[in-house]
Structure 1
Amino acid sequence: MSEGTKEAVISLRGVRADLGARTVLRGIDLTVRRGEVVALLGANGSGKSTAVRTLIGQVPVAAGEAALFGVPRARFRDWARVGYVPQRTTAAGGVPATVTEVVSSGRLSRTRLGLLRKADHAAVARALELVGMADRAKDSVDALSGGQHQRVLIARALASEPELLIMDEPMAGVDLASQEILAHTLRTQVEAGTTVLLVLHELGPLEPLIDRAVVLRDGCVVHDGPPPKAVGQHALPGHDHVHPHEPADTAPMRTGLLSR
């Protein structure tokens, strides 16, 4: 089967999205097919995270159509097929919890009445092993570094054994050692056939895994094709050289877990 005939796992058609009175996405088109690894790139404020939040239902679609696995997003309910890693958040959202408890919460979409079975515990253990956090399984997440928090969040997303993995700035504020572990983890998922959409500030160590890059500027798609050769967003097509840069702050924000 050719790339062009594979199932569209993600489909955005003419999607417009607003935050308050401000239009952030201005009719974007985006297709991610089964098995693809697509990077969503662009300067701060270009609409990358809003596109992802629109896709998973955190931001309403003001116009256009969004679909997951061929199902209109408003009617999509099979969230066990989707693993989501949010941007810069703590693993437990300020609630006392162990690493295992946080990762186990990613398995709830596959359980009945929230009761974990043997297969669920095994999936949690595999996810922790993948991100190199098995030795911290019983530790409180409050004792973790920023990079370790991020690895726990990725393990939580992997625990549901998703077909689609969506990650919003997974390398932001993460130390080099954790970046290398995250790149290895993602490579393992890609080799297993997982479809991946990554929101990135720059390609960095994930560059070898990327099939396509979609670059946003001012809420519009300005490039959809091969990843830029140079590393860093200043090499991106349509890059605006006057924009604010977020600090490389490793201190995580306090937000809750995604409610599915």
Structure 2
Amino acid sequence: MDDMDVTSEAVISMRGVRAELGARPVLRGIDLTVRRGEVVALLGANGSGKSTAIRGVIGQVPISDGEIELFGIPRGRFRDWSRVGYVPQRTTAAGGVPATVTEIVSSGRLSRTRFGVFRRADHAAVRRALELVGMADRAKDSVNALSGGQHQRVLIARALVAEPELLIMDEPMAGVDLASQEILARTLREQVASGTTVLLVLHELGPLEPLIDRAVVLRDGCVLHDGPPPHAVGQHALPGHDHVHPHAPAGTESIRTGLLS
């Protein structure tokens, strides 16, 4: 979205957000706005506050100060959670509970049903979500029989089945095999093309790099950089990586270091 209209609706707004885990400050006054149609990546070293920030957005982590709004509504009063899809860091999709792939994905559709009763459109949405992530052929299988990458694809299908306007993902590529990475990148491209707003935590940009409009780099619970994604990926995109590459054009490494170190 090169010509993003700065007046477009703020889907996520965080202003002066602080949070602690135990007695340890994790977020130290975060300001972050994600506007409709944007794809924003949260980058930073381990412990920088990335996952805490997005868990704060969805209410899984209490904040001690500041304000969070979703679609212009204070998070404490926000009730329309079917507009938000969330993909947590990779875990077993069923949490150890025996369940089929279809059952796990269907659980993500409940917010769109009346009293939990599935109609034809709901069943169709489940099939469509499974097809999007390349898991339709495993629909009746137990999730306990899946590989790590397949687990992640099921979690993403569960988030997509409610057809959310906002998709929040916590390290969707972590520990995922290359084939699943490619499927996830393709799935995300389709969601972005349809207008979905995306906020995701990444350890590195990887195959998602072409989709990213903005990168927000955190360090020690503070925003270090909010702007164009850094050209370097992996550890090179994280705070504190400041060595000079002999193959880099003169001057480019110093610019990158100024942003990210």
CA distance in 2 between counterparts of 1:5 and 1:104 reads: 36
How many residue pairs end up in the alignment? 240
Q: Which runs of 5+ in 1 are unaligned?
A: 242-260
Partner of 1:128: 130
Partner of 1:239: 240
Instruction: Report the alpha carbon displacement of residue 61 of structure 1 after superposing the two structures with TM.
Output: 1.2
CA distance in 1 between counterparts of 2:118 and 2:209 reads: 36
CA distance in 2 between counterparts of 1:101 and 1:139 reads: 10
**Cα offsets for 1:131-188 (capped at 9, x unmatched):** 0000000000000000000000000000000000000000000000000000000000
**Cα offsets for 1:63-103 (capped at 9, x unmatched):** 00001000000111100000000012111111100000000
- Verify the 8 A CA contact 1:42 1:233 in the aligned structure 2: no
CA distance in 1 between counterparts of 2:5 and 2:228 reads: 14
Equivalent residue of 1:100, what SS?
helix
Moved over 2 A (4+): 233-236, 238-241
Q: TM-score, normalised by structure 1?
A: 0.90
Partner of 1:154: 156
Equivalent residue of 1:4, what SS?
coil
CA distance in 2 between counterparts of 1:52 and 1:59 reads: 9
**Cα offsets for 1:196-251 (capped at 9, x unmatched):** 00100000000000000000000000000000001113233x3368xxxxxxxxxx
- Verify the 8 A CA contact 2:90 2:151 in the aligned structure 1: no
Alignment of 1:192-231 (within 5 A): 192-231=194-233
Amino acid of the structure 2 residue aligned with 1:86 = P
Q: 1:41 to 1:99 in 2, by over 3 A?
A: same
Instruction: Report the alpha carbon displacement of residue 2 of structure 1 after superposing the two structures with TM.
Output: 5.0
Structure whose CA Rg is larger: 2
Partner of 1:143: 145
Partner of 2:116: 114
Amino acid of the structure 2 residue aligned with 1:52 = I
Alignment of 1:153-172 (within 5 A): 153-172=155-174
- Verify the 8 A CA contact 1:17 1:63 in the aligned structure 2: yes
Q: Which runs of 5+ in 2 are unaligned?
A: 243-261
Q: 1:2 to 1:201 in 2, by over 3 A?
A: closer
Partner of 1:63: 65
Partner of 2:253: none
Q: TM-score, normalised by structure 2?
A: 0.90
CA distance in 2 between counterparts of 1:58 and 1:143 reads: 29
Mean CA deviation greater in 178-187 or 109-118: 109-118
